[in-house]
Amino acid sequence: MVEIRLENLRKTFGEVVATDEVNMVLEEGELSTLLGPSGCGKTTLLRLIAGFYVPDRGKIFFDDKEVTGVPPHKRNTGMCFQNYALWPHMSVTDNVSFGLKLKRVNGMKYTKSAIKRRVMDALDLVHMGDLGNRHIHQLSGGQQQRVALARALVIEPGVLLLDEPLSNLDAKLRLEMREEIMRIQKELSITTVYVTHDQHEALSISDRVAVMDLGYVQQFGTPREIYEMPQTIFVADFIGQCTFVDGVVDSVGETIQARIPNDQIVTGKTTIENYPFEVGERVKCAMRPEDLHLERRGKTDNEITGDVYRTIYVGNAMELYFKVGDVAAQALLGPDTGLRIGDKVTLYAPQSEVMILPVGGVEALRKIPGHPMSTSAPPTRVPANV
């Protein structure tokens, strides 16, 4: 098993900064996902780990071995590309055995029989043992996906890298293959980096999720951490649903109070350890729709009043859209509220569920003392000879 450590990575393409200031430790045997919108740098980061790109700056370690300049075929990584990259005119077996024929262990090639056995094992693992003689163009999308996975696994890699492996599959097959990947990953205990832009997929499959935006990893944590303790507005918005109401900090203590439109005061918590909130600072009061209720549940609950402008009945619940001043907000209520468009509504949110978040993404992270992105932070790793 391999631990992957990324230190202060940066990769540019001409003017484009594809990814920057990436500091992460991907634990051995875990499945970590890179999650974020199109163009945020997921593939770039994965290719840096694979060795297809050399970073402009920073270092990559597999365990204690630095691999920053090591070419891909010497890193013992198995990779599934965003578009599979299978050879359509070749058989399943030939596709899967290709990498193995090139591989040397201690300078020795694999024997024909060893290759045959390993290919069979890899195809069995992805439940494709019977289709080895088929050509790729005779396979369905899901089957091609399995072949791509078998090809990545056959070399018995220390690290498995999967770039949106399910993006070409229909919903049902996605689910099925997702379970398969999880099964295989756990069975082999192989350190895996999985790229997706689907937050639901990321939450369901991952031990840890790195949420990326504009080339930066804004947060790296367990699914529960990133949902319950988002470190930036972007993370809160990208993971699950969130209502954001603009506010200005009124007081900072055990809790944080912020003034929101129409002179209402909201009291909430911070999800960011050590963030130095200041009175007068512009913030966002973030609430999950399920944390806004029609009835008061605790003495200290926040009271938020707004005007209903839309209701959507979704069977077992009602999505309520309302405006607080100019700000649109959303709540998830029971199906029988009787609320109508134009009604004034007062909703209650427990203080423990309201998250007060600073405005900005990376700029806000830089203000946290000791954060790797804070300019005052010491270098992440001091060389041994200093």
Ligand X SMILES: Nc1ncnc2c1ncn2[C@@H]1O[C@H](COP(=O)(O)OP(=O)(O)OP(=O)(O)O)[C@@H](O)[C@H]1O
Nearer to ligand X (CB atom), residue 40 or residue 287: 40
Structure tokens at 90: 């070749």
Nearer to Mg ion (CB atom), residue 39 or residue 99: 39
Task: State how far the Cα of 39 lies from the Cα of 156, in Å rounded to an integer.
Answer: 30
CA of residue 149 relative to chain centroid, distance: 21
Q: Is 192 in the site for Mg ion (CB under 5 A)?
A: no
How many Cα atoms sit within 13 Å of 195 on the Cβ side?
A: 25
Length of the chain: 386
Q: Is 43 in the site for Mg ion (CB under 5 A)?
A: yes
Nearer to Mg ion (CB atom), residue 19 or residue 43: 43
Task: State how far the Cα of 141 lies from the Cα of 170, in Å rounded to an integer.
Answer: 9
- Name the minimum Å distance from CB 82 to Mg ion: 5
- Name the minimum Å distance from CB 216 to Mg ion: 16
- Among 37-45, 115-123, 176-184, 371-379, which window interacts with Mg ion (CB under 5 A)? 37-45
Task: State how far the Cα of 121 lies from the Cα of 156, in Å rounded to an integer.
Answer: 11
Q: Is 54 in the site for ligand X (CB under 6 A)?
A: no
Report residue 106: phi and psi, to 5°: 50, 40
What CA–CA distances, in Å, run from 208 to 32, 121, 198, 224, 244?
5, 29, 14, 9, 25
- Name the minimum Å distance from CB 110 to ligand X: 33
Q: Is 196 in the site for Mg ion (CB under 5 A)?
A: no
Q: Is 15 in the site for ligand X (CB under 6 A)?
A: no
Closest CA to 372 of 8, 44, 3: 8
- Among 36-44, 116-124, 154-162, 170-178, which window interacts with ligand X (CB under 6 A)? 36-44
- Name the minimum Å distance from CB 311 to Mg ion: 38
Q: Is 33 in the site for Mg ion (CB under 5 A)?
A: no
Q: Is 87 in the site for ligand X (CB under 6 A)?
A: no
> Of these partners, Mg ion, ligand X, none, which one is at the site of residue 13 (CB under 5 to 8 Å by kind)?
ligand X
Task: State how far the Cα of 81 lies from the Cα of 99, in Å rounded to an integer.
Answer: 14
Binds ligand X (CB under 6 A): choice among 23, 32, 44, 264: 44
Dihedral of CA atoms 23, 25, 31, 36 in degrees, nearest 10, equals: -10
Binds ligand X (CB under 6 A): choice among 178, 197, 284, 367: 197
Report residue 199: phi and psi, to 5°: -65, -35
CA of residue 179 relative to chain centroid, distance: 18
Nearer to ligand X (CB atom), residue 192 or residue 267: 192
Task: Give the containing element (helix H, strand E) for 314.
Answer: none
Nearer to ligand X (CB atom), residue 39 or residue 141: 39
Contact residues toward Mg ion (CB under 5 A) are 43
Which spans of this chain sit near ligand X (rule: CB under 6 A)? 13, 16, 18, 36, 38-44, 197
